[in-house]
Structure 1
């Protein structure tokens, strides 16, 4: 055989092995990479590193990373849960002290100097249930969420673009650090309440400038999961990860309530410590951008050439992308250009927009935790520590639902009813939304404590709605646009929080003024808006050909599990 033909065969063999390594992610492809033949060169001309080899083993590691993320999310939930009630109580104490200082000084038990941090003990808690105090407390929380929304509204899309371009980890680390700063600022203002106006706590909203705030961080956690979890496991994983946060809300509030009987500052400071631990724990999570794609770093001895780069082209995005991108030089124009690029997919599939809109309801329901404490405390004459234990029942049902009931229903829908993963997510989301609208409406109508507990259980059965919508939405968009889609979701979440939180606070104040059953007015509103979003879910459906793809991926996942 001529020497030229031998060299051509050798080069063709090397290209075939290289392509199989890039496109295949199986043990067989790993075996091809390690198998040496007589024609294998001793020094490879490819510029791969050890990460190329590690990438073939990454499918086996996604469960481990999922558990680590569940731990981080549990810590975030624990930090939020342990500080929520004590912070509300400290706010109430400061507002109450200043109210009675001017309106009825006879209610004051301790002077300003003796009252100590947060004016705890200055006025008996039972006097702080006055309508004027509760209205100020509701307004304080409502405007806090409004102000936090502005940075998130402006920065959600840019941070999503940064996460797609530079990685998820730096953006999330920045966000977790900003939460720590928020906790510290609120504690400083309330600790030195004699020197600061309680409304100075609103400045803690500036923490969102560092990472986009809670909506961006929450969305990025799900982006990280989408990076590493196969599609056939995605919905059940989303449910279990959501349950890990709720598990913290089951375990931690009773601990917080018991510590509050001693001093609300104890759980408040513990929460700050937990947030610090959460920040440090996420530091060991690897970057997940392009997690299943082997990375190749240019070598100093063998710089990457244009011909080598084109040997392993990435599959094209479903949305057509121009070969040459216009990049404005002006910073403002760059920001507007990035915003236009990041939101272009909304015009390609109307279902994406319809699936994003219900997240307004998600943000509204997320804001009800503190409102629920106030509502049950006021209407059913409970202390905040007792109301905290009541919400624990709600969270316990949610954990049971997400950890056990819905994963079982998800498996049953696929194996028994032969539904695709996508259609299963859509049907379960519709059913869950029905529980949401019925449950929250009944919360407002409940005349006694037993009825409100039953109503909260019904509402809890709809907890999975937005996790299921997120899973279904993820299946409709290309992998390289997931972070941008989730950034739009966080933006809608932010708009809902900005508009909804003051609205719910205003409705609660109006209900207090009207008296009687009108005190449940904010929950009637939740029921109405949930009904509107249920209609949107019934408008959305799968297109011809999409379901078959989902079935094939689901069946492939089941085959892998059996093997």
Structure 2
């Protein structure tokens, strides 16, 4: 079963600032060509390439969201059959499955499935990131997407033809996560698209390019649940599953229209020195050296303080994808299909927030407010984290759907905390160290998976058992993590001011000092 995660604008580039594919145009300060080296049927300009990457992001996330809710419903039905001792293959009425026993079992199952999926991602992301530097972005993306398709199909296949086996051991669904070993799955696929966007964009254009890709992913996250809810309400969970599977070949065809963006030497043969055992050992030694250098960045205390945002990101993602669906369905009596209609408007609100953030940044950096680039990013990160805390607290205390929606509304305005934190932390390193910093960020996010799914499942189970105020425990947990993050951000200090070359008097002058 594929676990689709939508990253924020700057959440994705694991591979960073690598070499360009083309020679610079004379007089082009950004050293980015206007025409890409591509086949005649492929996109040829950087802008067209970025739009194609964004469309691929949309289609991948859209198809993933088509699968997510019906697969949850089918898992719930499987657990429900076990709870009732029903050996039939018919789907049990959903509202009969909202018992505490069924929902507790399902919560733990989803929690451990998410954790196992994250472990597989942790094991595969960096090796396939290295492979992309060796063989190119596009073949790595195709390999990763192939693994994603196999993982995505395995879940519904087991739920369809392996029902009796799953009822004896539902954790057989973890088999789907093993397909991450084939290319790295969704995380590597999306990371490759962001890396390709970085390859074809100038330093000035990268933020806008990443925003386009994020819009594509967020739009897919908005449209997918809407269509899923409609199809599940009108037909059955299997209809959106079939619709999602029918999109996979179309996405593979779209990959044909994008060129390779990283230059690789295809003339070398397998017997060349670069493919020898010695070269592989050297590559491993180089990777270990890069890891040591990345860890050296932690000597600046502000960097680990900002990294807490990413450490807790997995818990927030799990809470607002799987936990929230189960929570609303269990405590407010909504069918899973109906929860998609509830959550979709907040996807639109998230798009709006992303769209207005650049304008807010301009206002904060205007003479009226006088924030530096770093000061503005840190301020917005702190503000967003406070909104995450307030929203989670409202959700935790809510005992009717209206107050819960109010909490979701507040939380959505803080949903950009992760990309804002990435923008903040990037100020502490020079461009040549950004890739290593991104590696630390990605590692923090994956380690955070251990305090995400299983802990939230335990919190949900405690709410089912103890009732009362304990019902909101999953959201109080998210509020606690947000509060810890906010307190850490209060101790973040600005990086040292950069200096311009010595003036005619031979003295260095500070350049654009960062403000807190």
TM-score clears 0.5: yes
Cα deviation per residue 1:414-456 (whole Å; 9 max; x = unaligned)?
4454544444333222221221121122211112111111110
Residue 257 (structure 1) aligned with residue 254 (structure 2): no
Residue 364 (structure 1) aligned with residue 336 (structure 2): no
Match of 2:362 in 1: 411
From 144, 147, 151, the equivalent of 1:175 is 144
Contact kept in structure 1, 2:395 and 2:472, CA below 8 Å:
yes
From 379, 396, 399, the equivalent of 1:444 is 396
Match of 1:37 in 2: none
Residues 81 and 174 from structure 1, CA distance in 2 versus in 1: closer, same or farther, beyond 3 angstroms?
same
Match of 2:290 in 1: 341
CA distance in 2, matches of 1:231, 1:419: 21
Question: Which has the larger helix fraction?
Answer: 1
Match of 1:211 in 2: 183
Contact kept in structure 2, 1:147 and 1:498, CA below 8 Å:
no
* CA drift at 1:155: 2.8
CA distance in 1, matches of 2:96, 2:25: 68
TM-score, with length taken from structure 1: 0.73
Contact kept in structure 2, 1:95 and 1:133, CA below 8 Å:
yes
Q: Bigger shift: 223-232 or 177-186?
A: 223-232
Match of 1:191 in 2: 160
TM-score, with length taken from structure 2: 0.80
* CA drift at 1:270: 1.4
Cα deviation per residue 1:57-82 (whole Å; 9 max; x = unaligned)?
9xx94332222121111112211211
Match of 1:536 in 2: 488
Cα deviation per residue 1:322-341 (whole Å; 9 max; x = unaligned)?
xxxxx984968864652332
Match of 1:150 in 2: 119
- Bigger Rg, structure 1 or 2: 1
When the two chains are superposed, the root-mean-square deviation of aligned CA atoms in Å is 3.5
CA distance in 2, matches of 1:337, 1:432: 38
Contact kept in structure 2, 1:359 and 1:492, CA below 8 Å:
yes
Q: Bigger shift: 348-357 or 260-269?
A: 348-357
Other structure's SS at 1:82 match: helix
* CA drift at 1:213: 4.2
Residue 248 (structure 1) aligned with residue 232 (structure 2): no
Residue 98 (structure 1) aligned with residue 82 (structure 2): yes
* CA drift at 1:469: 2.3
Match of 1:306 in 2: none
Residues 74 and 56 from structure 1, CA distance in 2 versus in 1: closer, same or farther, beyond 3 angstroms?
closer
Other structure's SS at 1:196 match: helix
The 5-angstrom pairing of residues 415-426 of structure 1 reads 415=366, 417=369, 419-426=371-378
Match of 2:386 in 1: 434
Contact kept in structure 1, 2:30 and 2:203, CA below 8 Å:
no
Residue 89 (structure 1) aligned with residue 68 (structure 2): no
From 53, 65, 75, the equivalent of 2:59 is 75
Match of 2:407 in 1: 455
CA distance in 1, matches of 2:306, 2:466: 36
* CA drift at 1:136: 1.3
CA distance in 1, matches of 2:118, 2:152: 17
Match of 2:338 in 1: 386
Cα deviation per residue 1:390-431 (whole Å; 9 max; x = unaligned)?
11122121122113x213213333445454444433322222
Other structure's SS at 1:543 match: coil
CA distance in 2, matches of 1:356, 1:469: 8
Match of 1:17 in 2: none
Residues 169 and 162 from structure 1, CA distance in 2 versus in 1: closer, same or farther, beyond 3 angstroms?
same
Residues 250 and 443 from structure 1, CA distance in 2 versus in 1: closer, same or farther, beyond 3 angstroms?
same
Other structure's SS at 2:376 match: helix
Size of the aligned set, in residue pairs, is: 464
Alignment gaps of 5+ in structure 2: 1-21, 39-43, 268-275, 502-509
The 5-angstrom pairing of residues 254-333 of structure 1 reads 254-261=226-233, 262-289=235-262, 329=278
CA distance in 1, matches of 2:256, 2:177: 24
Alignment gaps of 5+ in structure 1: 1-20, 31-50, 106-110, 299-326, 554-563
Residues 92 and 348 from structure 1, CA distance in 2 versus in 1: closer, same or farther, beyond 3 angstroms?
closer
Residue 355 (structure 1) aligned with residue 355 (structure 2): no
From 100, 105, 109, the equivalent of 1:136 is 105
Residues 296 and 393 from structure 1, CA distance in 2 versus in 1: closer, same or farther, beyond 3 angstroms?
closer
Contact kept in structure 1, 2:332 and 2:401, CA below 8 Å:
yes
Match of 1:493 in 2: 445
Other structure's SS at 1:357 match: helix
Match of 2:4 in 1: none
Cα deviation per residue 1:484-517 (whole Å; 9 max; x = unaligned)?
4434333322222243111111111111111123
CA distance in 1, matches of 2:314, 2:405: 22
